[in-house]
A and B are shown apart, each in its own frame.
Chain A
Amino acid sequence: MGIINKAYTAALTNAAPHYGMSTNAWQLPGLSTSVGLITLHNPTGSGLVMRVYSVRWVNLAIIAASVSLSFFELWRVTSPLGGQVIPCIPWTWDGDRSIQRVSAMTNAASTPVEQFARACVSLDEFAFQGDDLDAWESSPNLNVLWDSGIDDANVQPIVIREGYGFEVTHHIDGSANPSQFAPTFISMWVDFTLGVS
């Protein structure tokens, strides 16, 4: 790719809570669909190219939740608006300020452009010594949604050019959606780089 790009993690883990319910987890809101769990935006004029290498999440529902199966979808988007800003943590603290030219947020409203993939998830609580789907989702290694390009120099990551964004969208499938979808907790990480080419 020509240059060594600087790496960042946009993490919900330390984000300001969406509903003020927690200081170390993001609360997935109640009955709703097409919620932007995490959105990265590379605005026009940034002069930067954003590359998304890895998306992971973990189930943080350690208290009882009343939810159903739903989907996390990976989208290229445009024009994200609103939501709450979440921090992008540099892996190397060298004073670089390029991160200030892009943004990351949760619960933003975006315009979907094209879908890369999706995965079905259980947002139910997991139990101490649990051995089911809910419990397995506490493993970041098992819960990787995307890692394109991480291990193979031949394959592109998801490249976000100026004017576009990348979003993990929570989507509730009608056939799998119950009449109730109570708030529950997750944490999510997106690892990406910023470069000038």
Chain B
Amino acid sequence: MAVLQTWSVGTNGTASAFASNRSMFDAWNGTAGATVIKIWRIWAFNGQSSAISGVFAQIHFLRTVAGPSGGTALTANAVKHDSTNAALDANVTFGTDRTITYPAAPVLLRRMAIYTDEYAISGASTDEFRLFTPGALIFDGGYASAGVVQPIVLRQNQGLTLTNVTAPATGSIDIYCEFTQE
């Protein structure tokens, strides 16, 4: 496979606050044509710096089937890895806290639990471990597989959400996603 045109997009420090059944991050491919978006890696850093009472948050990786609405758009944060890349298709969007449409039969790709307590300067727990880039890596589909294993592929009118399904919810996360367009 050739090198694909790659972008990074993230919350850039405007941490996404946990709330019950909130989409913490989503990607949507609403293109009219054959543009394909591939999600290669996702990081969820601990974004909670002030003291709180942390809880466990369950994050579900779910397919979406309609354009999201509301919330906070993150598309403007999408950065080309190479400035000569083509423009990102205008119908590809990213966001947080957007209203999501799931398929009638939810497609759960994976799920995980995050402890949402704040990090401390000399702490030694999972709160701090999620400050490290390797510790925050929550998805790396296809990496180092030499093209054998697929990443999460978003074709026309397909999306992906990382939704917190847990209540009560406290804390926040700072999410980054590496994706390609072809």
Residues on A facing B (Cβ under 8 Å)? 1, 67-69, 71, 76, 114-122, 124, 131-134, 136, 141-146, 148-149, 151-159, 161, 164, 173, 175-176
- Report yes or no: A155 in contact with B40, Cβ–Cβ below 8 A: yes
Residue of B nearest to A133 (CB): B128
How many A-B Cβ pairs are below 8 Å? 128
- Report yes or no: A153 in contact with B3, Cβ–Cβ below 8 A: yes
Q: How far is the CA of A132 from the CA of B131 in the complex (A)?
A: 12
Residues on B facing A (Cβ under 8 Å)? 1-6, 8, 10, 12-13, 38, 40, 43, 45-46, 49-50, 77, 79, 81-85, 119-124, 128-129, 131-136, 142-147, 174, 176, 178, 180
**Residue in A69, A115, A143, A164 whose beta carbon sits within 8 Å of that of B79 in the complex:** A115
- Report yes or no: A164 in contact with B83, Cβ–Cβ below 8 A: yes
Q: List 8 A-B contacts (CB under 8 A).
A: A116-B81, A119-B133, A120-B131, A146-B133, A153-B2, A153-B147, A159-B84, A175-B49
Q: A117-B43, A133-B121, A143-B133 are known; give 18 further A-B pairs, CB within 8 A.
A: A67-B121, A71-B13, A115-B77, A116-B79, A119-B131, A124-B121, A133-B131, A134-B122, A142-B135, A148-B8, A148-B178, A149-B3, A152-B142, A154-B4, A154-B38, A156-B6, A159-B81, A176-B49
Q: How far is the CA of A145 from the CA of B43 in the complex (A)?
A: 11
Interfacial chain A residues near B143, Cβ < 8 Å: 151-152
**Residue in B4, B43, B121 whose beta carbon sits within 8 Å of that of A69 in the complex:** B121
Given contacts A153-B3, A156-B6, A173-B13, are A120 and B46 in contact (CB under 8 A)?
yes
User: Chain A contact residues: over half helix, strand or loop, or mixed?
Assistant: mixed
Q: How far is the CA of A133 from the CA of B127 in the complex (A)?
A: 10
Interfacial chain B residues near A68, Cβ < 8 Å: 121
